[in-house]
Amino acid sequence: MKLRKLLICAEPKNEIEAGLKRMYLKRVQEMFKRTISMESIFNIFDEVFHGLSQVSIASEDLYSFYESLLTITSYYHHSQAGRGSLIAKLLEKMGETEKIAFEFVLMKLPQWLGQNIKFEESELTKQKFDIVNKSKDNLAFCELKMKVYSGCTAGRVELTEKFNKFIKLIISNLSFRECIKNAGIKKVFLIGGILFDIQGEPATTQKDKEWGICYNGLIRGKNDIIRTLKDRNIQYIIDETKVSEKAFLIKFEIDNIKVNITTVYGNEVIKTLFVGNQRYDIKYFKNQLQEMLYDDLWLGQIITMSERAVLDKNFRRNKNLNNYVTSILRNKEILLEIKKF
């Protein structure tokens, strides 16, 4: 039998692996629960919608496989909590910073900057950014995409729409500007960062353009930002010089605060986020990610889908809940060996 690289069976080497192991254990446990019970997320409408009712007429084996596939993958894809925090822990080591935060809501900015004021709650102040970083007199907000196709058109429009709302806020809201200025901030960066291309190599403008539909969403969002600045009579400078790691840069100044809006790729994401105070490059980040490649989840999915399909077939034919997992759970000797392991 080929041995797999399973983090669940290993001793974590660092804090990141310890957190990853906890997540893997939780997900594998939840998936395996679905191999010992016929409890299902599918009602009659769902069975018709997914075609399961028709499949059952043609083949009980096919029905069992399809029901198992949908049940296990539906759980897995709806269980995403924690992944972002792992990426955050990797990223915060990539550069020097005074303060950095993740999943940051603008309402919390005054307290984060050490001020006692409160913003009035609104659509603009309730916005959440993936990362915020303070370094000397620089404040950077970043929306991060792992690959060029992440979120595609809708994701790019959403990204630039956040920047557009931020621009409207800083132009119209004096207390927001005062909060920034009182913290000694002179430059604000709004960064759209795209790390990797389809092959997993550092992303570039050209690679993004090749995935055309997503890039088009970005350009549409850029044009909306320019329209906002024009409508409010704000003078701006735009740099669309063709370079491999930058799509565009828009600059303007309001109340002595310089604002830079940009979309960057690959290593430039890390460089811009840390405002030049970069410790490691994108290749180091990728190596860190690759060291986290374990077989726990894909192997767990394959086993649980297979075992649930067997459980379903036995229940339909024999009214008997039985498969390898239930057999193991009923065998005290095997359970004792598992505990030793």
* pLDDT for position 264: 95
Contact (CB, 8 A) for 131 and 189: no
- pTM for the whole thing? 0.77
Return d(Cα 55, Cα 57) in angstroms, integer. 5
Residue type, 4: R
* pLDDT for position 333: 79
Contact (CB, 8 A) for 20 and 83: no
- Hey, what are 122's tokens? 């609104």
CA 274 to chain centre: 20
- 3-class SS of residue 331: coil
Q: How many CB atoms lie within 10 A of CB 34?
A: 22
> Which positions ≥6 away from 262 have C-beta within 8 Å?
189, 190, 191, 192, 246, 247, 248, 249, 250, 272
Return d(Cα 321, Cα 302) in angstroms, integer. 19
User: For 188-229, how does the pLDDT look when each residue is reduced to its tens digit (9 = 90+)?
Assistant: 999 999 999 988 899 999 988 887 678 888 889 999 999 999
Residue 184's alpha-carbon distances to 17, 169, 257, in angstroms, are: 37, 19, 10
- Using 70 as the pLDDT threshold, list the residues of the chain that sit under it: 1-4, 56-58, 76-85, 212, 338-341
Q: How many CB atoms lie within 10 A of CB 133?
A: 27
* pLDDT for position 1: 43
The side-by-side arrangement of strands in the sheet containing 138-147 is 99-105, 128-135, 138-147, 187-196, 257-265, 246-254, 236-239
Which of 100, 82, 104 lies closest to 91 in space, CA to CA?
Answer: 100
* pLDDT for position 340: 65
Residue with tokens 């940051």: 104
